[in-house]
Structure 1
Amino acid sequence: MFETARYEIGRRLRETAFLSVAVSLYAAFIVWYYTVLEGVAIEEVFEELPPAMMEAFGIETLSTIEGFLGAQIYNFVWILGLGLYFAYVAGGSIATDIESDRMEILLSFPITRSQLLVERLASLLLPIVVVNVVVGCVVYLLAAAIGEQMNVTHLAATHALSIPYLFVCTAIGLVFSVAADRAAIAERGAVGVVFVLFLVESIVGGASEYEWIQYVSPTQYYDPTPLLIDGSYELIDTGILLVTFAGLVLLSQILFYRRDV
């Protein structure tokens, strides 16, 4: 039991390590860049940007390490970068085997479609948790190294509450993976949907006449900058993300059960 999950997790160990190191290095660059900009009136430059762009990248204040990291790392890498990455990876998780006819062999073993899907999903959730733990520790240590004392609780909450958001992005990819016949279509479709949802919340949702549309985007329910600065968040938003994740997983189960492989 869980042989598929163990095998897939083993395959993703190198990918997880590479991702953790890559994001940690980017975080190190941003922290170093923050020290370079010390004394520069950078907020005056960003005041010239359109409000929609300020909203899209979570720019509230750049004079503190929390506000700077929120804009440069968490709203850019976490919400957009990692969201697209996990949607893409999940998009190929099932579709690749269907396209190569390997799925027929897998399903000839004593394993149900439901179990196979859940175990594949479990292996995809491993990198999400590991990246959050590793980079969270790295960011705290880097900030301390330059003499900035970040609130541990706020930083931990920022990473912990990003997990349901990334779960949703992964589940979007999973739905495409079981619905598409080709891996490339599933991967591009998942990436496209996550990117469009990001634009919907950050740009289109800013217009008063279309304000309602922002609530269909998962980015509406995870805002890292206020979390980093003062630890403010709405627990109901996390609940909405978890319910959405469960609903998308259930939808992928139904689609996978009904399709002919």
Structure 2
Amino acid sequence: MFELAAYGARRRVRGALALSVGLSAFSGLYAAFFPSVTEGIDLDQYAESLPPVFVEAFGLRSLGSIEGFLATELYQFAWVILLGLYLAYSAASLVAGDVDSERIDVLLALPVSRARLVGEKFLSVAPGVLVINVVVAAATWAATRAIGYPVGAVDLAAVHLLSLPYLFACAAVGLAFSVAVDRESVAQRAAMATVFGLFLLESVVGTTDYDWLGYAAPMRYYDPTAILVDGTWDLGGAAILTAATLALVAASQQYFRRKDVN
């Protein structure tokens, strides 16, 4: 049971550890810069001079506090954009990679259903996502205490826990393209373009009369700035992202069951 998921997770663990180290280094670097960057500079006043769309897109609030600074520099950028794009890109190869390389014939010959194959392929992403969150959370906690500006442990844990539904939703977008497109490179590019396009959509319409269009973007339901700065946890948004992820995975399983794999 879950042999395919375990095998896939083992293949991805090295990449997850490397990404964890890189993001932890960024976190430590941002924390180290914070005291000197904020000395004698009113970052909040600077943020107010920027276009509202830019402020909305990157959650530029309370930059003079360590919570607001990290929310903008680390989480809004590295988590919402970079890590979301990475997981969409990575998940887009889960099935399409095997089809493109013709390994899919071997997998389909195993005594497992197509739905289980797709489901376990998706589950193989989970351990890496958990490793990244645990390592970076620990590194950020240690770095902020080392500089004398500690971030609240509860809110820091919350910003990482509530990122899981968002990150899995991005991965589910990649999975959908992975079963729909046979060429791995096409699936990867389409998944990244979709996630980034949804980010741009949410950024552009968020301050307009067409705000309702942003409900299609997973970024609408995960706000690191609200968690770290305001202590506000959007549990409803997390539930919506979880439901969307399950729906995309189920739809991907159903589609692959009926698909003629050449």
User: TM-score when scaled to structure 2?
Assistant: 0.96
Separation (CA, whole Å) in 1 of partners of 2:49 and 2:207 = 17
Matched residue, 1:18: 18
State which drifts further: 124-133 or 42-51. 42-51
The residue that corresponds to 2:54 in the other structure is: 53
Displacement of 1:127 in angstroms is 1.3
* Deviations 1:106-135 (CA, angstroms, capped at 9, x unpaired): 111112111111111111111111111110
Kindly state the Cα deviation for residue 233 of structure 1 after the two structures are TM-superposed: 2.2
1:11-90 residue pairs with structure 2 within 5 A? 11-39=11-39, 40-90=41-91
How far residue 204 of structure 1 moved from its aligned partner, in angstroms, is: 2.3
Deviation at 1:2, TM superposition (A): 2.1
Deviation, 1:226, is 1.3
The residue number in structure 1 matching 2:240 is 240
Cα distance in 2 for partners of 1:75, 1:191 equals 17
What secondary structure does 2:232 align onto?
coil
| Larger displacement relative to structure 2 (166-175 or 41-50) | 41-50
Q: 2:255: which partner in 1?
A: 255
Distance 1:78 1:194 in 2: 13
**What CA distance in whole angstroms lies between the structure 1 residues aligned with 2:104 and 2:2?**
17
User: Within 2, Cα distance between the matches of 1:125 and 1:233?
Assistant: 22
Determine the structure 1 residue equivalent to 2:113. Answer: 112
The answer (yes or no) to whether the contact 1:158–1:228 under 8 Å persists in 2 is yes
- Percent identity reads 42
Q: Does structure 1 retain, via aligned residues, the 8 Å contact 2:63–2:69?
A: yes
* Number of the residue aligned with 1:146: 147
Cα distance between partner residues in 1 of 2:235 and 2:13: 31
Cα pair 2:47 2:61 within 8 Å, conserved: no
Q: Is the 8 A contact 2:56 2:206 kept in 1?
A: no
Aligned partners of 2:142 and 2:223: how far apart in 1?
Answer: 23
SS in structure 2 opposite 1:171?
A: helix
Do the aligned partners of 2:44 and 2:61 also contact (CA within 8 Å) in 1?
A: no
Say whether 1:161 aligns with 2:166.
no
Deviation, structure 1 residue 47 = 2.3
One-letter code aligned to 2:152? N
Q: SS of 2:93's equivalent?
A: helix
Amino acid of the structure 1 residue aligned with 2:114: R
Secondary structure in 1 matching 2:182: coil
Q: For 1:98 and 1:41, how far apart are their aligned partners in 2?
A: 54
CA RMSD of aligned residues (A): 1.1
- Ranges in structure 2 where 5+ consecutive residues have no aligned partner: none
Unaligned runs of 5+ in 1: none
Aligned to 1:126: 127
- Please identify runs of 4+ aligned residues in structure 1 that moved more than 3 A: none
What's the offset of the Cα at 1:38?
A: 3.0
Q: How far is the alpha carbon of 1:77 from its aligned partner?
A: 0.6
Q: 1:154 & 1:44 partners in 2: Cα distance?
A: 25
Letter of the 2:207 partner, please give it.
G
